[in-house]
Structure 1
Amino acid sequence: MYALQANPPSIAVAVATAGVLLVVAFVLGLVGSAVARRLSNPVSKYRLLYGGVILPFALLAYVVVRSTGFGPALLGTALADGSTLLGALLTAFLELFAAGLVGLAAYAPTVRGVREARNIDLSTGRALARMTRWVLGVSVVAAAVLVPLERGSSTIVTMALLAVFVGGVQVAAPWMIPLLRTTRRPTDAAADRLDTLRERAALSVRDTRVLETESEETASATVRGPPGYRRLFVTSTFLEAFDDETATALLAIQAGRIRTRVLARTMGTVLAAVVPLFVLFEDVGPTLPLLGASVAAVLGGLWLTRRGVRAADDDAAERVGPDTVADALERYAAVHEMEPNRRRLSNPLSKTPALGDRIDRLRAQETAR
């Protein structure tokens, strides 16, 4: 954080920099959307655009706005004094939220393309309102975490705080998600149906919440929370778009991911990759070996995560049958207007095997029976 200075950062420079980033982000989203719409399997390409281009640009924007003193410039010298907890929190929030707005500027021109690619009635205003709520919530949480991490008295303390944060996210997820997304309790009829589906899928959770997707039409199910208080989140489209057999198979995959600890593998990858970087930033180790260790942790962790996903598919196949799981994945792709992609070699930077490869693998299991 910025310490109290006689010459605080220039608000003109900070605001101008943020403005340039917003314009560049909008153009980036506009061009990226135009390219994605013209490629085969555009829905998958939009997902790649979000994860591979827009998100990294938003992270870059955070680095830039922070380097220009955006938070201190807006708050003024007194509040932005890094020695006060309030000033540090406000500064971190403003800079994180500014980076989030840059990401929203890139996201905005893509909504129309996604709407046409998936043939859904999703207004740009509604999509931006939903994403703004998410960005606001994430900025608050990230600021509350970033400040203590930066104030860690040593590398060991900082890494310990990071580990606590990663674990805390898992523990708090059942309560955090309703703050970031609109949720509701399932109706009596839906609750009865979900109880039956979960029993068939061998998915044990404490309760269920329905995520309102409205015209977004995203059909998904996920489980979050620690053992003993796991909560199932299903979208309203999931309940409407899938029959019982398909829904059971998709829930069985979620049950398999719990048993194979896919989420734990992902979190472990993050921690293993970040630890060498913290040591590097403290200048207590050789640069290249530490960077190599971080890259190796990412590649190794993602490989383990992909294995966990395949093991979860196998677990679900044992429960409901390989063909049933394969059919469910194909139905999932059809609802989202996706063409299941296939790769000769796994993407080393992906935590999930290609959907088409997962389907082919399940079909082969059925044939081998």
Structure 2
Amino acid sequence: MVPLQSAPPSLGPPLAFLVVLVVGGVGLGALGSAVARRLSNPVGKYRLLYLGVLVPFALLSYGVLALLEFGSAVAATVGTAGPLGSLVADATGLLGAGVVWLAAYAATIRGVRAVRDIDLSTTTAVARMARYVVGVSVAVAVVMLPLRVGSGVSPLGLTIVVAVLLLVGVGASPWIVAALRSTTSPDESVRDRLATLRNRAGLDVRDTLVLDTDDEETAAAYVRGPPGYRRLFVTTTFLDRFDDETAAALLAVQAGRVRTRLLVRRAGSATLAAIPLVAAVAGWGPRWPLLGSAVGVVLVGFWLARRGVRAADDVAAGTVGNDAVADAFERYAEVHALEPTRRRVPNPLSVNVALGDRIDRLRGR
């Protein structure tokens, strides 16, 4: 007798659900944008809309598409199987959720453009976000591949694989950011200015790349990479809108984050949380206690990250002065049309400290 084989999942139903989710994302984004525009501190409310509503909706969409086997249906349709089929299925499922996120995000661009008074076209914003979504989806699918093909791997071996992948991702972040974003090398005058600012800030990096943010006017600077190959990323808005005093203070904060190993704290927490999470997914123990352990590790990691943020501010204050750092934070908020928020009780689900609380803490010292 020939053994019966289950038929591959049909692509029709999950594709129909994807269309419904995309339409729902557009509606949710438009409704959330309309509400955020009418509230106080609208820029802050848009950030809350993204993190508290649209991202969870995209994650929910991923769960729905996974239950409907959307990725597996696509893999079967294109005729892939084995590890390649698993990779295609995971990447497609993530991209499906990414399409829902892009639809919801696109519906908010007009409102963001109005509250920040910037000339950012919806097409440009969505194209840049799409590049990021594709890159992250492929990267996550690659990380998930050992879980899919790890039936013959020991629990310890598979956990080590996941931990190594996470740590490699942090170490390779200078190249990952450059691949996901459009970057240029600074010209001679900008290079000289940055060298002076880094010297004042006590920031030691190997090189610097500039991100073009003239449209969205996002003034940011951050350091990525392992010791010996740390790369500074600065945006064009950062260079254009901040004077040397402000820029040096903000770079001093980045130097403080390097010195306090803030990124290592976050990566280490993610790695430790991955151990019980992998065990729960693979069925190597009681699922709910293992998931509870993962959540506990994450919460402790968030607390350590917030301590790291404050410690980095202290390092920056020791380099350029308390008032200089506080003034720089206020200027940062002004450029982004952002009202610094303050919290009586720290948010246990956040890796950051409210900007207003950081300013008050520096002023109080």
Q: TM-score, normalised by structure 1?
A: 0.94
Which residue in 2 is equivalent to 1:14? 14
CA–CA distance in 2 between the matches of 1:101 and 1:173? 24
SS in 2 for 1:208: strand
Structure 1 stretch 205-214 or stretch 6-15: which is displaced more? 6-15
Identity of aligned residues (%): 57
> Within the alignment, does 1:129 sit opposite 2:127 as a pair?
yes
> Within the alignment, does 1:315 sit opposite 2:315 as a pair?
yes
CA–CA distance in 2 between the matches of 1:71 and 1:337? 40
Aligned pair count reads 360
The residue type paired with residue 201 of structure 1 is A
> Which of 142, 164, 183 is the aligned partner of 1:144?
142
Structure 2 stretches of 5 or more lacking a match?
Answer: none
CA–CA distance in 2 between the matches of 1:163 and 1:29? 35
In the TM superposition, what whole-angstrom CA distance separates every residue of 1:160-213 from its partner, at most 9, and x where no partner exists?
121111111111111111111110000110000000000110100000000011
Per the TM alignment, residue 288 of structure 1 is displaced from its structure 2 partner at its CA by 4.3
CA–CA distance in 1 between the matches of 2:5 and 2:95? 23
CA–CA distance in 2 between the matches of 1:356 and 1:208? 29
SS in 2 for 1:342: coil
Which residue in 1 is equivalent to 2:172? 172
CA–CA distance in 1 between the matches of 2:142 and 2:291? 27
CA–CA distance in 2 between the matches of 1:114 and 1:24? 20
Q: Is the 8 A contact 1:112 1:124 kept in 2?
A: yes
Structure 1 stretches of 5 or more lacking a match?
Answer: none
Per the TM alignment, residue 78 of structure 1 is displaced from its structure 2 partner at its CA by 7.0
Per the TM alignment, residue 77 of structure 1 is displaced from its structure 2 partner at its CA by 5.6
CA–CA distance in 2 between the matches of 1:351 and 1:213? 25
Matches for 1:36-115 after TM superposition, within 5 Å: 36-76=36-76, 79-81=79-81, 84-115=82-113
The residue type paired with residue 92 of structure 1 is D
Which residue in 1 is equivalent to 2:212? 212
Q: Is the 8 A contact 2:162 2:274 kept in 1?
A: no
Per the TM alignment, residue 146 of structure 1 is displaced from its structure 2 partner at its CA by 1.4
Which residue in 2 is equivalent to 1:118? 116
The residue type paired with residue 157 of structure 1 is G
CA–CA distance in 1 between the matches of 2:15 and 2:91? 16
The structure-2 alpha-carbon separation of the partners of 1:155 and 1:331, relative to structure 1 and needing over 3 Å to count, comes to same
The structure-2 alpha-carbon separation of the partners of 1:168 and 1:337, relative to structure 1 and needing over 3 Å to count, comes to same
Per the TM alignment, residue 270 of structure 1 is displaced from its structure 2 partner at its CA by 1.7
The structure-2 alpha-carbon separation of the partners of 1:5 and 1:89, relative to structure 1 and needing over 3 Å to count, comes to farther
Structure 1 stretch 151-160 or stretch 239-248: which is displaced more? 151-160
Per the TM alignment, residue 268 of structure 1 is displaced from its structure 2 partner at its CA by 1.9
Q: Is the 8 A contact 2:253 2:315 kept in 1?
A: yes
SS in 1 for 2:210: strand
SS in 1 for 2:314: helix
Structure 1 stretch 282-291 or stretch 303-312: which is displaced more? 282-291
CA–CA distance in 2 between the matches of 1:78 and 1:181? 30
